Structure 1
Amino acid sequence: MGYVPQHALDNLKKYSYKGVDKSLVSRYVLQPFWNWFVTLWPTWIAPNTITLTGLSLVLINFGTLIYYDPKFLTEKGGADGPPHWVYFTWAAGLFLYQTLDAIDGKQARRTGMAGPLGEMFDHGCDALNTTLEVILCARALNLGRSWWTVASQIATLANFYLTTWEEYHTGQLFLGIFSGPVEGILSIVLLYTVTGFTGPEFWDRDFLAFTRLDRYPIVVQYVPKLGLNDAFMVFGGFVLAFNIVNSYYNVYKSRVSSGQGPFIPLLFLLPFPISVAMEVFWLSSPSFKESQILHSALFVPFLCAWGLQFAHQVSRIILAHVTKQPFPYWDSMWIWSIVGAIDANLPRLINRPPLIQNTLPRTALFVYVTLAVAFLSYARFCYLVINDITNYLGIACFTVRKRDRAGEWVGASEVNIKKL
């Protein structure tokens, strides 16, 4: 047992998945489709294989961005963008990702493989998808390398962190009437589809003129001029505010009903804004006239490194949830970000040049090393946790098999799952 303590592994026996989905779209439209779609998969295919297949589709989408629009990584705002048909593949890939993400749990119940490893694996893939979709969505909305894209990253990660924090303190996953995994993903699928027909320049149109609200003087007087893409971001901000209130309401009810203090969980929200503050402080460094990272080819690698660090952070929360361990308020990857942020801001702090990031090439080296360290750290976490859980429970991660009493691998159909 190399990563998870023995007493925590023993708590895996107490794990049981609980979820609430209040989405009308999910209940009346998607659930019937998912129930049919899962029957197309043979029972010898492991649920985690389905989950990983969904993430692979998103990685392919990200690969098409790099291949067809490399200037998005090297020039401000990109060039003309990828061919319009690429956006349709992004829409299809994301919709299939959502579908596969929804049926992996159903496949787990079909094969007798439902358990804590599946939840860990599912949330880990979702955490990686979050940042990848931010980058793809920024390209489709023609946001380019801007603070709007940074705001999109913060809002999207905040929603995911809230859901994870809420599940830790309530013991169940809540999906409200408008949730990221359902309506949020469908909104982005629609966005990709529209961009496929119109091109990303469509989203630069004036919001008031497009909606004809500019005909009303009172609207023009009080509503600032925004593009459609900016308005989309503002709408996302309102959704985030609603989710914050709703998530805390669920936590409040759960804590009160169990006789616990309802305000203590608020302290465990602090790790997220602290981590965000470090990344924003790093991005806003005054080393050059424009930030070395925000307006350079380093922006996308920086976001990817940030996303991997976030995936590590929330995966540790889910691990604490399924093993009933204390909330992980500290993450070791913060040390690296603190060093990067302070070094880049030495001109602001003590009026001297950065020690490491004093030229663009050296900044590039530091950002790519950060990306590599974040990737290796998260990969190590995944390997060790999967290894500990599969060894303890006597299961395989990508095979529908369990160990019998003699320690031999057997097919799921050949063993009484409930007795193991």
Structure 2
Amino acid sequence: MGYISPEALQNLHKYAYKGVDKSILSKYVLNPFWTWFVTLWPLWVAPNTITLSGLSIVFFNFATLFWYDPGYLAEKGGVLMPDWVYFSCSIGLFLYQSFDAIDGKQARRTGMAGPLGEMFDHGCDAMNTTLEVIMASQALNLGRSWWTVASQVATLANFYLTTWEEFHTGQLYLGVFSGPVEGILIIAAIYAISGVYGPSFWDTGMLTFLHLTNVPIINQLPDMSLNDSFMAFGAFGVAFNLQASYRNVRRARLASKKSTLQPLLLLLPFVVSAGIQVLWLTHPRYDNSALINSSLFVPFLCAWGLQFAHQVGRMILAHVTSQPFPWWDWIWVWSLVGAVDANLPMLVGRPPLFQTNETNRAIAVYLTLAISFVTYGRFCTLVINDITNFMGIACFTVRKKDKDGNWQESVPDSGKKSL
């Protein structure tokens, strides 16, 4: 009942991480900082401990934000968030990026680089993605809106594209502008600006902000708000990343004399899974409220994020173990049932079978969240156990097994560079 067959486990020995980062900011500013920052960590700290510490900071930021805005209404709903919460989110996201960047360096310092770290890092990134979408949308004063849903789709699409590209090319490719580098710094800046001016600042028109409303010709353009403009920028980013990722995949497929069109079919699982979630959100108003306008909106997005984390987790697992690409995820059936039930008034002209009122709808959403959490938790537990047992390592301890099967502290070779 596990995720890795005995044959696939053998392929773990063949795995070697490959990455390309063309970011100028990363090369000349961030990487020198990360190289120094990792030296502050003792060699007895496991790389995965650093990764989990970064995610824990994000969890704290997420909990703090919803302590002050449990209804996820932002300033549009009259909620005045303390300024320090946004500054905390900004610092927390920067720390997450830093911790996420140095875990690989720590792995090389301690001699623990390998597929387990790749899986663990990817899994934390997948969970952080949805949490940051929710927090950033609140900071942008979007709250419960289709713009927040669009942000979720766009951000998850970028993450899926990166994983899809790595599966086909064998390496993680970060371009001159990427989400893990420049994208994170932009979001951190958004938090900081919201801390100074408040989320309502982002409702300011772009032309008004640039003082162009009195300039001839330009003042004929719509004065789109700053948050709407940021959403348009995000859509452009998805389109750019799609063509860039496919270009890299196509180059790799041509080099190996394989079909260049077949990988495009493997984008369909994301389209299907995202489509199911959006279908559930678009159910008609058969009573006084719709899901997207209720307090269930954030739990729903969290359930969606956990299902996505399970989906891309299986993709990266297939990559590191040389298994076939995972086309299907059974949890889609559960969400599809919820989506169809909610849309029965539109489909067959009758009320939903279960989601007939706010209480039943809450049960359906929170049950979906619980099932998604258990499913992803089971995936993480089984995969970590399989890899650690097979490779004779520990997930959160810098140690290895000797030839007699006894645990020994791992000491890097004295001649190794502290990368």
Report the TM range for the smaller structure's normalisation: over 0.9
Secondary structure of 1:72's aligned partner: coil
Partner of 1:284: 282
| 1:288 shift after superposition | 3.1
Partner of 1:373: 371
Asked whether the 8 Å contact 1:403–1:410 carries over to 2, the reply is yes
Q: Closer, same or farther in 2 for the Cα pair 1:181/1:171, shift >3 Å?
A: same
Asked whether the 8 Å contact 2:162–2:245 carries over to 1, the reply is yes
CA distance in 2 between counterparts of 1:414 and 1:97 reads: 26
Secondary structure of 2:180's aligned partner: helix
Q: Which amino acid in structure 1 is aligned with residue 143 of structure 2? A: G
Deviations 1:340-364 (A, max 9, x none): 1000000010000000111111001
| 1:415 shift after superposition | 9.2
Q: Closer, same or farther in 2 for the Cα pair 1:202/1:304, shift >3 Å?
A: same
Q: Closer, same or farther in 2 for the Cα pair 1:119/1:296, shift >3 Å?
A: same
| 1:77 shift after superposition | 4.4
Within 5 Å, give how 1:19-58 maps onto structure 2: 19-58=19-58
Partner of 1:102: 101
Asked whether the 8 Å contact 1:76–1:145 carries over to 2, the reply is no
Partner of 1:364: 362
Match 1:386 to one of 381, 384, 387: 384
Asked whether the 8 Å contact 1:167–1:174 carries over to 2, the reply is yes
CA distance in 1 between counterparts of 2:360 and 2:168 reads: 43
Partner of 2:163: 164
| 1:287 shift after superposition | 3.6
Partner of 2:174: 175
Within 5 Å, give how 1:191-202 maps onto structure 2: 191-202=190-201
Q: Which amino acid in structure 2 is aligned with residue 378 of structure 1? A: Y
| 1:292 shift after superposition | 2.4
Match 1:262 to one of 241, 260, 264: 260
Secondary structure of 2:328's aligned partner: coil
Secondary structure of 1:16's aligned partner: coil
Secondary structure of 1:286's aligned partner: coil
Q: Which amino acid in structure 1 is aligned with residue 114 of structure 2? A: G
**What residue ranges of structure 1 are gaps of 5+ in the alignment?**
none
Within 5 Å, give how 1:280-319 maps onto structure 2: 280-288=278-286, 292-319=290-317
Q: Closer, same or farther in 2 for the Cα pair 1:328/1:291, shift >3 Å?
A: farther
Deviations 1:200-244 (A, max 9, x none): 1111111111113333443344x4332111111111111111111
Deviations 1:101-129 (A, max 9, x none): 00000000000000000000000000000
Aligned residues: 415
TM-score, structure 2 normalization: 0.96
Identity across matched positions, percent: 64
Partner of 2:111: 112
Deviations 1:364-406 (A, max 9, x none): 1100000000000000000000000000000000001111111
Q: Closer, same or farther in 2 for the Cα pair 1:199/1:355, shift >3 Å?
A: same
Partner of 1:228: 226
CA distance in 2 between counterparts of 1:18 and 1:244 reads: 20
Partner of 2:59: 59
- Bigger mean CA offset, 329-338 vs 19-28: 329-338
Secondary structure of 2:104's aligned partner: helix
Asked whether the 8 Å contact 1:395–1:401 carries over to 2, the reply is yes
Asked whether the 8 Å contact 2:75–2:141 carries over to 1, the reply is no
